[in-house]
Amino acid sequence: MTVLPFIEQQITTSGDASATRRLRWSMAGLRPIVLPLLFFLLWLGGWEWVVDHFPASRSVLASPSEIAAVLVKSFPLLVPHIVSTACDTLLGFALAVVVGVALGGALAQFHRLNQALFPHLVLFQIVPKIALAPLFVIWLGVGTESRLVFALFLSFFPIAAATAAGLSSTRPEALRLCAALNAPRWRTFLCVRVPFAIPALFAGLKMGMTMALIGTIVGEFVTGQEGLGYVVMFAAAGADNALTFAALALLCAVGLLIYGAVVLAEVVTQRWYGAPFVTEGFN
Amino acid sequence: MTSRFERLLSIALPAATAIAVTVTWQVAVTLADIREILLPTPLAIAGSLGRNLPSFLQQALITGREALAAFTLAVVAGFAGAALISSSRILREILYPAIVALQLIPKVALAPLFIVFLGIDAEARITFAALLSFFPILISTAIALHNTDFAAVRLCRSLGASGWQTFWSVRVPFALPAFFTGARISSTMAVTGVVIAEFITSREGLGFAILDEGSHSRTDAVFAAITVLCVLGLALYGAVKGLEMISVRWYRG
For residue A164, CA distances in Å to A175, A196, B8, B49 come to: 16, 12, 22, 34
**pLDDT of residue A98 exceeding 80:** yes
The verdict on a CB contact (< 8 Å) between A135 and B111 is no
Give yes or no: residues B67 and B112 share one domain. Answer: yes
Which residues of A, range 195-254, sit inside 8 Å of B by Cβ? 210, 213-214, 217-218, 221-222, 228-229, 232-233, 236-237, 239, 241, 244, 247-248, 251-252
Dihedral sign of CA atoms B236, B198, A153, B36 in order? negative
Give yes or no: residues B221 and B147 share one domain. Answer: yes
pLDDT confidence of A283, banded at 50, 70, 90? low
CA–CA dist B127, B74 (Å, integer): 9
The verdict on a CB contact (< 8 Å) between B106 and A213 is yes
Give yes or no: residues A108 and A141 share one domain. Answer: yes
Give yes or no: residues A96 and A195 share one domain. Answer: yes
Residue-level length of chain A: 283
Chain B partners within 8 Å of A139 (Cβ): 38-39
**pLDDT of residue A274 exceeding 80:** no
The reply to whether A52 falls in a domain is yes
The set of residues, in sequence order, having a beta carbon less than 8 Å from that of A202 and lying 6+ positions away, is A262, A265, A266, A269
Query: Which ipTM value was assigned to this complex?
Result: 0.86
**pLDDT of residue B213 exceeding 60:** yes
Chain B partners within 8 Å of A153 (Cβ): none
Is residue B130 within 8 Å of B77, Cβ to Cβ? yes
Q: What is the CATH number of the domain that holds B177?
A: 1.10.3720.10
**pLDDT of residue A81 exceeding 50:** yes
Looking at residue B25, its pLDDT comes to: 92
For residue A139, what is the nearest residue in chain B, using CA coordinates?
B38
Give yes or no: residues B14 and B78 share one domain. Answer: no
Of A57, A72, A93, which marks where a domain is finished? A57
pLDDT digits (tens, 9 = 90+) for B56-94: 999 999 999 999 999 999 999 999 999 999 888 888 888
- Residue-range definition of the domain harbouring residue A116: 64-273
% of chain B residues with pLDDT over 90? 53
CA–CA dist B126, B134 (Å, integer): 12
Three-class DSSP category at B125: helix
Give yes or no: residues B85 and B9 share one domain. Answer: no
Give yes or no: residues A81 and A174 share one domain. Answer: yes
Say which residue, A93 or B109, is predicted with more confidence. A93
Give yes or no: residues A27 and A135 share one domain. Answer: no
CA–CA dist B154, B158 (Å, integer): 6
Give yes or no: residues A40 and A101 share one domain. Answer: no
Nearest CA among B136, B121, B129 for reference residue B71: B129
Nearest CA among A3, A56, A82, A77 for reference residue A255: A82
**From the CA of B84, how many Å to the nearest CA of chain A?**
14
Amino acid at A128: P
Give yes or no: residues B89 and B204 share one domain. Answer: yes
How many domains in chain B? 2
Looking at residue A238, its pLDDT comes to: 85
The reply to whether A91 falls in a domain is yes
Give yes or no: residues A31 and A82 share one domain. Answer: no
pLDDT digits (tens, 9 = 90+) for B127-181: 999 999 999 999 999 999 988 888 888 898 899 888 888 888 888 888 998 999 9
**pLDDT of residue A96 exceeding 90:** yes
The verdict on a CB contact (< 8 Å) between A239 and B116 is yes
Q: What is the CATH number of the domain that holds A122?
A: 1.10.3720.10
Instruction: For residue B228, count other CB atoms closer than 10 A to its CB.
Output: 22
The set of residues, in sequence order, having a beta carbon less than 8 Å from that of A92 and lying 6+ positions away, is A147, A148, A149, A150, A151, A152, A155, A212, A215, A216
The verdict on a CB contact (< 8 Å) between B112 and A244 is yes
pLDDT digits (tens, 9 = 90+) for A110-137: 888 988 999 998 889 888 899 898 889 8
Give yes or no: residues A244 and A125 share one domain. Answer: yes
pLDDT confidence of A4, banded at 50, 70, 90? very low
Nearest CA among B182, B53, B46, B15 for reference residue A123: B15
Kindly report the average pLDDT of chain A as a whole number.
85
pTM listed for this prediction: 0.86
pLDDT digits (tens, 9 = 90+) for B4-53: 888 888 888 999 999 999 999 999 998 988 888 888 999 999 999 999 99
Give yes or no: residues B57 and B17 share one domain. Answer: no
Give yes or no: residues B22 and B93 share one domain. Answer: no
Of A33, A57, A81, which marks where a domain is finished? A57
**From the CA of A60, how many Å to the nearest CA of chain B?**
6
Chain A partners within 8 Å of B98 (Cβ): 36, 39-40
For residue B10, what is the nearest residue in chain A, using CA coordinates?
A115
Looking at residue B79, its pLDDT comes to: 95
**pLDDT of residue A5 exceeding 90:** no
Q: Which of B98, B106, B226 sits opposite A214 (nearest CB)?
A: B106
Looking at residue A276, its pLDDT comes to: 59
Q: Which of B14, B116, B143 sits opposite A120 (nearest CB)?
A: B14
The reply to whether A195 falls in a domain is yes
Give yes or no: residues B126 and B197 share one domain. Answer: yes
Looking at residue B4, its pLDDT comes to: 85
The verdict on a CB contact (< 8 Å) between B206 and A131 is yes
Is residue B191 within 8 Å of B231, Cβ to Cβ? no
Q: Which of B13, B39, B192 sits opposite A115 (nearest CB)?
A: B13
- Residue-range definition of the domain harbouring residue B62: 38-252
For residue B230, what is the nearest residue in chain A, using CA coordinates?
A127
Q: Which of B105, B117, B229 sits opposite A131 (nearest CB)?
A: B229
Give yes or no: residues B199 and B115 share one domain. Answer: yes
CA–CA dist A267, A271 (Å, integer): 6
Report DSSP letters for B23-46, one per residue: HHHHHHHHHHT--TTT---HHHHH
Looking at residue A9, its pLDDT comes to: 44
**pLDDT of residue A40 exceeding 80:** yes
Give yes or no: residues B120 and B141 share one domain. Answer: yes
Give yes or no: residues A119 and A205 share one domain. Answer: yes
How many domains in chain A? 2
**From the CA of B203, how many Å to the nearest CA of chain A?**
15
Best probe of the A interface among B13, B90, B108, B186, by most A CBs < 10 A, is B108
Helix segments in chain A, DSSP class H: 4-12, 16-53, 64-73, 75-109, 111-126, 133-140, 144-167, 172-180, 185-188, 194-223, 228-237, 241-273
**pLDDT of residue A2 exceeding 50:** no
The set of residues, in sequence order, having a beta carbon less than 8 Å from that of A89 and lying 6+ positions away, is A151, A209, A212, A213, A215, A216, A254, A258
Looking at residue B170, its pLDDT comes to: 87
Give yes or no: residues A16 and A144 share one domain. Answer: no
For residue A219, CA distances in Å to A44, A216, B161 come to: 31, 5, 54
Give yes or no: residues A122 and A179 share one domain. Answer: yes
The verdict on a CB contact (< 8 Å) between A252 and B16 is no
Give yes or no: residues B105 and B73 share one domain. Answer: yes
pLDDT confidence of A214, banded at 50, 70, 90? very high
Looking at residue A10, its pLDDT comes to: 45
**pLDDT of residue B199 exceeding 50:** yes
Of A18, A37, A57, which marks where a domain is finished? A57
Looking at residue A23, its pLDDT comes to: 62
Q: Which of B106, B214, B229 sits opposite A137 (nearest CB)?
A: B214
Give yes or no: residues B51 and B28 share one domain. Answer: no
Give yes or no: residues A53 and A68 share one domain. Answer: no
CA–CA dist A160, A208 (Å, integer): 9
Give yes or no: residues A30 and A113 share one domain. Answer: no
Chain A partners within 8 Å of B111 (Cβ): 221
Is residue B40 within 8 Å of B220, Cβ to Cβ? yes
Looking at residue A14, its pLDDT comes to: 46
Longest CA span, chain B: 76
Amino acid at B230: C
Looking at residue A251, its pLDDT comes to: 92
pLDDT confidence of A282, banded at 50, 70, 90? low
